[in-house]
A and B are shown apart, each in its own frame.
Chain A
């Protein structure tokens, strides 16, 4: 654990120094991420302003889901999602071998190499949306906060698992940046109240492909809309994470480098 923290510290210092060489680019990137995360809430705001709404969901409640989604990305993206870009780049360029040679687990090295400080900007946008949403509703009780805390950890675990699946896919599907589009498409289900989807799809999005757990389930817990039974959702999340680790390692074994 100490070694991992040292590695992370070294990577953090290097990445920040790298970004400081192009400061205006770094600032613009952070601003872009903040603006990008505000697009969907902005659209929700415009829709509610036109008089339409998600049945049974007030505007602040709908925004809370999107705020939780942005917060989860603000934590998961800097640490995990960079490995997708790292794998894409290194496998295409034939330089992934450099990660294999390092004296640390390959998955850890792929995550550390992909560490991206820009993505912390998402935490800011997430906090703004989350704070705005909370300001428009009655304050949650302590129990709801505790349940939310547990489910929020699960939400980060799902994003980590999705990163592993997408990254693993790139060992075979060399150089395809479309994995980012696939991520956006699949996780877009998680940015809206799950109740708008058909019951069968809701179950699918909770227990099979648990993107509904990224934001909808934690936000529902905070709103007091779900009981302790929502914690059962932690089981499919754990399985999903284990499966993603297995999948990534399996795909890594199929990596042939330039040797055929």
Chain B
């Protein structure tokens, strides 16, 4: 276990140092995040004109939703899908297949390093801008459960993206599938609009899909109130459901990974 932790730490640290050289790329979020948020501020202040609530959310809750969703997006951001597909397509995956470490663990360690850098370049500065410039209330209803939920979202996003990346073992060029899937993922996760705005039937479908656990559920847990498809859960129940979904998705990912390794052929493996 200690050895595993050391491996994760060294891969994570190497990734951290590698990406620190391109920190200006990450810092672009200091412009992108607040600008997109500013548009939301104008949209919703116009929408709330003469209204107290829309779909059960007040104006300040709506802004908090978009603020928290943006921050969770930065914390859980992932490109394991793109990376894995590139490795498979270019044949570079061979070097990973020969290592005494499953590639998914390597990719997860990379993500931990990459997002640790993002924490102080993207997340905290953007959070400060939201609080001090836009006056958004970003105080979590229950800090402990909010942190657990965000960590689970981090894992869920990785698992979902890694599964998308694994399609490269079956498809010659999986870029199109990847992009379609990621768009559906963002819509179904509540990145563009809280899922409670969707028609009732769609909400019921979305409740059983893994995507709500990436953005919608952790955001609602952060705000302190969860409801989807008419199902209202306490914060503890919501996080419990999220943990169960992450475990299930993790098992699916490992099964897919095993199948992909059996299918993979390369020079020397």
Contact = CB atoms under 8 A, between A and B. Distances in A.
Contacts of A52: 47-48, 51, 54
B198 to A, nearest CB: 6
Interface string B192-211: 11000111000000000000
B240 to A, nearest CB: 29
Nearest to A21: B173
B54 A51 contact: yes
Contacts of A198: 42
Nearest to A48: B47
Contact of B176 (A29, A42, A201): A29
B49 A31 contact: no
Interface string B43-60: 101111101001100000
B10 interface: no
Contacts of B45: 196
B54 A50 contact: yes
B231 interface: no
Contact of B46 (A24, A46, A196): A196
A40 B179 CA distance: 17
B35 A185 contact: yes
Q: Main SS of the interface on chain A? A: helix
Contact of A182 (B32, B177, B180, B192): B32
B39 interface: yes
B193 A46 contact: yes
Contact of A25 (B22, B48, B176, B187): B176
Interface in A188-239: 188-189, 192, 196-198, 201
Contacts of B176: 24-29, 31-32
B31 interface: yes
Interface string B6-50: 000000000000000010110011011001100100110111110
A192 B197 contact: no
Most chain A Cβ neighbours within 10 Å, of B31, B45, B46, B193: B46
A81 B39 CA distance: 23
A36 interface: yes
B54 A182 contact: no
Contacts of B187: 39, 42
A43 B197 CA distance: 9
A47 B197 contact: yes
B255 interface: no
B1 interface: no
Contacts of A186: 35
Given A39-B192, A47-B47, A196-B43, A185 B183 contact: no
A55 B173 contact: no
B49 A189 contact: no
B175 interface: yes
Given A178-B32, A185-B35, A188-B35, A36 B183 contact: yes
Contacts of A14: none
Given A178-B32, A181-B28, A192-B39, 13 more contacts: A28-B179, A29-B179, A49-B199, A50-B55, A52-B48, A55-B49, A176-B25, A176-B28, A182-B28, A188-B39, A192-B42, A192-B43, A198-B42
Interface of A: 22, 24-29, 31-32, 35-36, 39-40, 42-43, 46-47, 49-55, 173, 175-178, 181-182, 184-186, 188-189, 192, 196-198, 201
12 contacts: A26-B176, A28-B177, A32-B180, A35-B180, A36-B183, A46-B193, A47-B197, A50-B197, A55-B46, A177-B25, A181-B28, A196-B46
* Nearest 9 A/B pairs, CB to CB: A28-B176, A178-B28, A196-B46, A185-B35, A52-B47, A25-B176, A185-B32, A25-B173, A181-B32
